[in-house]
């Protein structure tokens, strides 16, 4: 009997989600990656295989701010707001959300809520 590790289970869930969730140029995929210390978000156009926007808690605009060290909800909110602001600057208003196999809870939910509050529709 072989048991899956936490990472293998998440990778399987991500593969299942990706069978349904596709990003286009008009409505890119907002994908979230979280590590223990940081959180990242990307807007991806799957039709062309291109990353349109990348934001993380290590981004220069967020790096110096206090209490937004990367591994907490405050940092996730800041990343969500920044990715929405950059998307609006590029004329993107609608996205599809890809939680990448993570539970929609905690930092992932905080990032999504902040992006919605800043004007992204999904």
- Indicate whether 69 belongs to any domain: yes
Q: What's the pLDDT band for 73 if we cut at 50, 70, 90?
A: very high
Domain assignment of residue 101, given as a range: 6-117
pTM for this model (two decimals): 0.90
In a domain, 25, yes or no: yes
pLDDT tens digits along 4-61? 899 999 999 999 999 999 999 899 999 999 999 999 999 999 999 999 999 999 999 8
Does residue 122 lie in a domain region? Answer: no
Q: What pLDDT is stored for residue 1 in this prediction?
A: 61
Q: Is residue 1 part of a domain?
A: no
Does any domain span residue 107?
yes
The CATH number of whichever domain residue 53 belongs to comes to 3.30.420.100
Q: Specify if 15 maps to a domain.
A: yes
**What total of structural domains would you count in the chain?**
1
Angle at which helices 107-117 and 73-89 cross, to 10°: 40
- Per-residue pLDDT, 68: 66
């Amino acid at each position: 009997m072989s048991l899956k590790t936490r990472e293998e289970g998440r990778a399987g869930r991500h593969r299942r989600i990706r069978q349904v969730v596709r990003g286009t140029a008009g409505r890119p995929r907002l994908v979230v990656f979280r590590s223990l210390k940081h959180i990242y978000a990307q807007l991806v156009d799957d039709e062309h295989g291109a990353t349109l926007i990348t934001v993380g808690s290590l981004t220069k605009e967020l790096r110096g701010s206090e209490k937004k060290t990367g591994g907490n909800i405050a940092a996730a909110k800041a990343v969500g707001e920044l990715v929405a602001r950059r998307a609006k600057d590029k004329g993107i208003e609608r996205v599809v959300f890809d939680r990448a196999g993570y539970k929609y809870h905690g930092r992932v939910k905080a990032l999504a809520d902040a992006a919605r509050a800043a004007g992204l529709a999904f």
